[in-house]
Chains A and B, each alone.
Chain A
């Protein structure tokens, strides 16, 4: 065979700026493989030092335009852990509703806008409108629902404003919640159609058993709270994260690479969540998963798309449950500032997100440590590609390139986040 060189200078249909370089020798060995993240760093961990505890969520929100909610809630919870604040049940519920709404928005964006064009043979969702207008309209409608819920609870879809340390500045009105509830009920059909779409469409057949990680809670499908667990036996509290997960710099990437201490790379995201927390999914989403014919736990990264669709049903079910039980009463936010260290792990749409802060007696940040999902995944994406590309060598160069890009997009990387 001939030598193969793949160079994608600017990966399309992912957030942020990354490239892919692969070279394969004549005897079919991967000589070099780099998922090259060249997004300019913004040095959040540096400029957060000297800022005040009550603006940390507002600042870290700006790490990412797609998952600002995840950064806000993680920052708030880490600060609350440092200050010893226990939020009310209503606050926990509203935060979960807000987090889930952001999952709906982001996962629909990933499925319909960023990856579906590959699977259906188009260059973009814009090109899809000609022959598949109904599918495009469904994607737009579902995404809008997610955004409108974030807007209702958080005051704005991108960089919301009401979620603060201790609770919310204001709670949404009952009438508006009722109207959203109605739309959620109606959206269930579209969510089922999404599961059907991603179980009927042909996903590349590639499996690699790697360590899958997510937060987990026996009582609920964990998004904002839980122990950090893995398929290889990791089970730690969020405050112990740094005892187990380490980062190292690679010369070709502005995103640091993560690994489990004394082990290797690992995967976070919708597929690890569904694999590890299947029992906590709503009964309708479990049934839909079973009907899809795909077995979980599953170690094909492309099945992440289906996992997003299954989560979509769960997200709708749990949003309705929360709306039905949340009292929506005004609450006081009383707490005192003190020095301390706090860490938090939540599930951003793309997977586990870690924030930790050290603050002094005046509430000034002394140290910040942030690890977004794509910084967790970057190392694992390369390990997947190492094996996956060797299964493609019979294809044309264009097809090999597209398939490798599709694997990266299955992780739905958020590159601005990963660099931050």
Chain B
């Protein structure tokens, strides 16, 4: 068998939920160890190899000058760089703070802000070239496996571009917007979760980020029509992907 691809897992500004999903692949975890050489994963390993990697899965957004330097170093040593989850793609939930002046945010948390070096939190793509993205907060385990399989087969991973609505149709869910006047983000949100929330009686909150070419303004006007205030609508778009070009107008840029 050919040499095992070397994988590294990194964490920046985020919650570790994405790398947890990798660790939660319990049924195939031992198989993954047969197929890949995971040689950098600080949350799991004490001996970490910092030479170079075939694939780097990067979780978390970039929010300090130190992190900018680090992600650039990782890029230099990586053949295939994956933005692993919404934080790495565009800052995700922590990016909500980008609408608060930085000093105001710091003063709300720290008595002495002189030791805090935070900036706006942005996706890693602001600073380095990305080779693939895994959407989701967190990404679905099947999608993670799809990407890893493709890496072994050297094929293009089948990652979904269509909206959550398509998955709702597969599951025979009644539309929550038309039937219950709920503020569902499904029509503009990337599929990949299997329409978890609408199948469980809850509106999609948009945790997989924008689908390909969404019509965000049309959905915003539908929300307005069913009684949501302008602030409500702003909050909906300024959540998992407020910094994205697809949602930024509705998020209140």
CA–CA, A136 and B20, complex, Å: 17
Which residues in window 5-56 of B have CB below 8 A to A? 11-21, 23-24, 26-27, 29-30, 33, 38, 41-48
A65 on the B face (CB < 8 A):
yes
Residues of A within 8 A of B200 (CB): 155, 161-162, 169-170
Binds A, one of B114-122, B161-169, B243-251: B114-122
Q: Is the CB of A164 within 8 A of B202?
A: yes
Q: Is the CB of A43 within 8 A of B109?
A: yes
Report A354-396 CB contacts with B as 1/0, cut-off 8 Å. Answer: 0000000000000000000000000000000000000000000
Report A1-42 CB contacts with B as 1/0, cut-off 8 Å. Answer: 000000000111111110000000000000000000000111
Which residues in window 37-64 of A have CB below 8 A to B? 40-43, 45-47, 49, 51-52, 55, 58-59, 62-64
Q: Which of A63, A65, A144, A248 is close to B27, meaning CB atoms less than 8 Å apart?
A: A144
Given contacts A62-B93, A124-B45, A158-B138, contact A143 B20 (CB under 8 A): no
Task: Give, as a whole number of angstroms, the nearest-CB distance from A157 to chain B.
Answer: 6
Residues of A within 8 A of B17 (CB): 62, 64-66, 68, 158-159
Q: Which of A10, A51, A143 is close to B24, meaning CB atoms less than 8 Å apart?
A: A143
Q: Is the CB of A123 within 8 A of B45?
A: yes
B197 on the A face (CB < 8 A):
yes
A230 on the B face (CB < 8 A):
no
Q: Is the CB of B16 within 8 A of A113?
A: no
Q: Is the CB of A42 within 8 A of B97?
A: yes
Task: Give, as a whole number of angstroms, the nearest-CB distance from B101 to chain A.
Answer: 10
Residues of B within 8 A of A170 (CB): 200-201
Residues of A within 8 A of B196 (CB): 155-156, 161
Task: Give, as a whole number of angstroms, the nearest-CB distance from B87 to chain A.
Answer: 9
Q: Which of A43, A63, A162, A254 is close to B202, meaning CB atoms less than 8 Å apart?
A: A162
CA–CA, A136 and B47, complex, Å: 18
Report B171-206 CB contacts with A as 1/0, cut-off 8 Å. Answer: 000000000000000000000000011001110010
Q: Is the CB of B24 within 8 A of A12?
A: no
Q: Which of A46, A129, A136, A248 is close to B105, meaning CB atoms less than 8 Å apart?
A: A46
Q: Is the CB of A157 within 8 A of B45?
A: no
Q: Is the CB of A126 within 8 A of B44?
A: yes
Given contacts A13-B45, A52-B232, contact A40 B64 (CB under 8 A): yes
Q: Which of B27, B43, B109 is close to A14, meaning CB atoms less than 8 Å apart?
A: B43
Pick from A16, A113, A137 the residue with the most CB of B within 10 Å. Answer: A16
Given contacts A109-B23, A158-B20, A249-B112, contact A117 B14 (CB under 8 A): no
CA–CA, A5 and B154, complex, Å: 47
Q: Which of A47, A52, A68, A158 is close to B100, meaning CB atoms less than 8 Å apart?
A: A47
Task: Give, as a whole number of angstroms, the nearest-CB distance from B130 to chain A.
Answer: 20
Residues of B within 8 A of A62 (CB): 15, 17, 92-94, 137
Task: Give, as a whole number of angstroms, the nearest-CB distance from B184 to chain A.
Answer: 13
Residues of B within 8 A of A275 (CB): none
CA–CA, A16 and B13, complex, Å: 9
Given contacts A40-B63, A41-B118, A159-B207, contact A125 B97 (CB under 8 A): no
B235 on the A face (CB < 8 A):
yes
Q: Is the CB of A159 within 8 A of B137?
A: yes
B74 on the A face (CB < 8 A):
no
Q: Is the CB of A17 within 8 A of B201?
A: no
Task: Give, as a whole number of angstroms, the nearest-CB distance from A8 to chain B.
Answer: 10
Query: Which residue of chain B has the shortest Cβ distance to A117 in the bound complex?
Result: B46
CA–CA, A342 and B24, complex, Å: 34
Q: Is the CB of A46 within 8 A of B44?
A: no
Q: Is the CB of B108 within 8 A of A65?
A: no
Task: Give, as a whole number of angstroms, the nearest-CB distance from B113 to chain A.
Answer: 10
Q: Which of B24, B109, B205 is close to A45, meaning CB atoms less than 8 Å apart?
A: B109
Query: Which residue of chain B has the shortest Cβ distance to A39 in the bound complex?
Result: B13
B225 on the A face (CB < 8 A):
no
Residues of B within 8 A of A92 (CB): none
CA–CA, A7 and B105, complex, Å: 31
Which residues in window 192-207 of A have CB below 8 A to B? none
Query: Which residue of chain B has the shortest Cβ distance to A248 in the bound complex?
Result: B111
Query: Which residue of chain A has the shortest Cβ distance to B48 in the bound complex?
Result: A12
Which residues in window 272-300 of A have CB below 8 A to B? none
Query: Which residue of chain A has the shortest Cβ distance to B67 in the bound complex?
Result: A40
Q: A51-B235, A65-B21, A158-B17 are in contact. List 20 more A-B contacts (CB 8 A).
A: A12-B45, A13-B43, A15-B43, A17-B11, A45-B108, A46-B97, A47-B105, A59-B239, A64-B17, A65-B19, A68-B17, A109-B23, A114-B44, A123-B47, A126-B45, A136-B30, A161-B196, A249-B111, A249-B112, A416-B15
Q: Please report B residues at the A interface, Cβ cutoff 8 Å.
A: 11-21, 23-24, 26-27, 29-30, 33, 38, 41-48, 63-64, 67, 92-94, 96-97, 99-100, 104-106, 108-112, 115-116, 118, 121, 137-138, 196-197, 200-202, 205, 207, 232, 235, 239
When A and B form their complex, which 4 residue pairs have the shortest distance between CB atoms, in order from nearest? Answer: A65-B17, A169-B201, A46-B105, A144-B26
Q: List 28 A-B contacts (CB under 8 A).
A: A12-B42, A12-B45, A12-B48, A13-B43, A16-B11, A17-B11, A40-B64, A42-B13, A46-B106, A46-B109, A47-B96, A55-B205, A58-B205, A59-B239, A65-B15, A68-B17, A113-B44, A123-B46, A124-B46, A125-B44, A129-B33, A133-B30, A158-B20, A162-B202, A164-B202, A252-B115, A254-B116, A416-B16
